[in-house]
Amino acid sequence: MSVEEASCADTPFGRYVTSPGWFVLNLGEALAVRNEEKGGVAYPIEAREHQFEHFGVHLRVLWPGDPNGLYHSEGMQEGFLVLSGECTLVVEEEERRLRQWDYFHCPADTRHILVGAGDRPCSILMIGARPDEPILYPVSEVAARYGASVETETAVPDEAYADWPGDYEPLRLPWPPDDLEGPT
């Protein structure tokens, strides 16, 4: 049995995958998206409508002070590899500075969040099992210093992110983004 190649679409902002199947995607040609104010820039490697069945993979670019989301734990393991730059890892109410080539193994139920640090963008490869288990957003004093904590604990993502800025918008971002001032 043969697996078909996925289809891709080209936009003025870059290329993205539109169907299931195998594919090769060069980050220098890929679509990037960003939230209006928080969360950095994401490269949606897997198709939104056809996510990978068994694991997720994301590439996130964070500028200094920019959290990739809210402090949380998931019922499945995750892994984070810093490809360039530096970030602050908030894990179990502790802060750790990560730099290029540092890998953070995050077992199931480990509370964590990453925040850009240093003086340039930080690129992070994020991988993890598809969580069938619930996610938890606990209150964190340490993460709150970075604008990355909920005010009230919840297990509902829409509640946790209710006060985050709107939708993601596409943009063109060169790869690697090491010398950029910030997304435009």
pLDDT of residue 20: 86
Token code pair at residue 2: 């043969």
Given a contact cutoff of 8 angstroms between Cβ atoms, the answer to whether 141 and 1 are in contact is no
Evaluate if residue 170 carries a pLDDT over 90: no
Beta strand ranges found along 24-177 (DSSP E)? 32-34, 41-43, 55-62, 78-84, 86-91, 94-99, 103-106, 112-117, 122-129, 169-171
Round the average pLDDT of the chain to a whole number and report it.
Answer: 88
> CA-CA distance, 27 to 29, in Å (whole number)?
5
Evaluate if residue 21 carries a pLDDT over 80: yes
pLDDT digits (tens, 9 = 90+) for 119-168: 999 999 999 887 666 899 999 999 999 999 999 999 998 899 888 876 77
C-alpha separations of 87 from 104, 115, 117 in Å:
11, 5, 4
Please name the helix (run of DSSP H) or strand (run of DSSP E) that holds residue 53, with its range, or none. none
pLDDT digits (tens, 9 = 90+) for 51-82: 788 888 889 999 999 999 999 999 999 999 99
Give me the domains of the chain, ranges plus CATH numbers: 8-171 (2.60.120.10)
Given a contact cutoff of 8 angstroms between Cβ atoms, the answer to whether 52 and 38 are in contact is no
pLDDT digits (tens, 9 = 90+) for 25-36: 888 888 888 876
Compare 170 and 3 and report the one with higher pLDDT. Answer: 3
Compare 158 and 179 and report the one with higher pLDDT. Answer: 158
- What pTM was estimated for this model as a whole? 0.87
pLDDT of residue 131: 64
* Selection from 25, 42, 13, 63 nearest residue 168 by Cα: 42
Q: Which residues contact 160 (CB under 8 A, 6 or more apart)?
A: 70, 72, 137, 150, 154
> CA-CA distance, 114 to 97, in Å (whole number)?
10
> CA-CA distance, 60 to 94, in Å (whole number)?
22
